[in-house]
Amino acid sequence: MHRPSHLVALAATFSSALAAFQGFNYGSTFTSGAAKQQSDFEAEFKTAQGLVGAPGGGFTSARLYTTVQGGTANDPISAIPAAINTKTSLLLGIWCSAGDATFASELQALKSAIAKYGTDFTKLVAGISVGSEDLYRISPTGLLNKENPGAQPSTLARYIKEVRDAISGTSLAGAPIGHVDTWTAWVNGSNQAVIDASDWIGVDAYPYFQETQANSVANSKALFDDAVGATQAAVGGKPVWITETGFPVSGKTVGQAIPGLENAKTYWDQVGCPLFGATNTWWYTFQDAAPATPNPSFGIIGNSLTTTPLFDISCKKVTNTTSSTSVGPSASISKSSATNPSTTDRVGGGSPGSDAGSGSGSNGTVPTSSTPSTTPATNFNGAGAISGSVGAAFAAVMVAILAL
């Protein structure tokens, strides 16, 4: 009977994977367009880790948008050695919205990074996102908002396979591979091939941009939950990670959503606090205002690197709402890669500014306002948020175990 050993192995897997990844999104460039260098990434990662009052285990993970260092053809992004030096886990990003040649450069950079840094690098990898909001970009709303060229679902499925083949037999083999997009893309049945090809699903959701709905900050938690719930219902039990979400600390009003520190804190408390430590989450964002402040600006620290956030991020006095009562890790979620925590780190960083918000409109409408501000070397705009409801996956696995 092998049953006992299976159970033991599974139990071991889960017990070692109980914390969720918790971090921010990191662009590869500053708002000036200048490429970030290793020292820049190190300073950001270290400062994020030192944030005063950080909940859970602190912000020790970084989601990147590209694996290519700015200003180079296909050198690995310097966020990788910066992550190694600061023990920062990475949700790597492969930029997929600029055609096959650019994708090939991303793949080359990934291979070079594995060869150059070995397990010092690969053990930090939480996952690999092949693409970011590429499906949103080819949707009617994305086209309307003149986003960057996106990628067809069949193209993304092919890219995902190419990444799998590239890491096969390396120390990065087994890293969970997924794709980040807006929830509106995930509920679109025409994109099923991407769901099928993915190990996990990354969701970017921004109630702030959902101007066709009642999107006041008071209603934002409900809109966020709806977006994540709709995604979970559409992806067949695959783990859902929160790859981007956040609320502007400054900027223009969109619908009923009014930027400002008080509302940004409310959103953090109601949406972020229940996620931190429980669901793999990469918040949008740590800093998007260096050196210039975009409109809207989602960064929680302003223009200068500092460990003192613009508002209390401790989750200690969370607003009393039914859904946000559990601040802290709620037991059931596992690190995304329940199966394989060792692999993925995210490197890349495009500059977030972007269309991050974009896909969040529940009606699929992406606010024109969310026009991406920055483009990384190759245009990366999408800030996506991955939402993780690894809980569902965890539950599914438990069911599987019980069924053995």
Ligand X SMILES: *[C@@H]1O[C@H](CO)[C@@H](O)[C@H](O)[C@H]1NC(C)=O
Catalytic residue among 42, 44, 106, 133: 133
User: How far apart are CB 101 and ligand X at their closest, in Å?
Assistant: 22
Catalytic residue among 42, 147, 211, 244: 244
Residue 107 φ then ψ, to 5°: -65, -40
**Nearest 5°: CA angle at 307, between 304 and 313?**
115
Nearer to ligand X, 135 or 393 (CB): 135
At 128, is the secondary structure helix, strand, or coil? strand
User: How far apart are CB 55 and ligand X at their closest, in Å?
Assistant: 14
User: How far apart are CB 71 and ligand X at their closest, in Å?
Assistant: 32
Nearer to ligand X, 95 or 183 (CB): 183
What does the binding site for ligand X look like in residue numbers (CB under 6 A)? Answer: 135, 138-140, 153, 188, 190-191, 212, 317, 320, 363-365
Q: Helices in 78-138 by DSSP H: which ranges?
A: 79-86, 100-122, 134-137
- Assess whether 244 carries a catalytic annotation: yes
Nearer to ligand X, 55 or 364 (CB): 364
Q: What is the CA radius of gyration of the chain?
A: 19
Residue 176 CB contacts under 8 Å (≥ 6 apart), including other chains: 126, 127, 128, 199, 200, 336, 337, 339, 340, 343, 344
User: How far apart are CB 175 and ligand X at their closest, in Å?
Assistant: 25
Q: First vs last Cα of the chain: how many Å apart? A: 11
Sign, CA dihedral 239-137-258-249, equals: positive
Please, are residues 357 and 213 in contact by the beta-carbon 8 Å criterion? no
Q: What's the rounded Cα separation, in Å, for the pair 268 and 137?
A: 27
Nearer to ligand X, 192 or 293 (CB): 192
- Assess whether 147 carries a catalytic annotation: no
Nearer to ligand X, 5 or 320 (CB): 320
Q: Is residue 348 classed exposed, middle or buried when 0-12, 13-18 and 19+ CB atoms within 10 A define those classes?
A: buried
Active site members: 133, 244
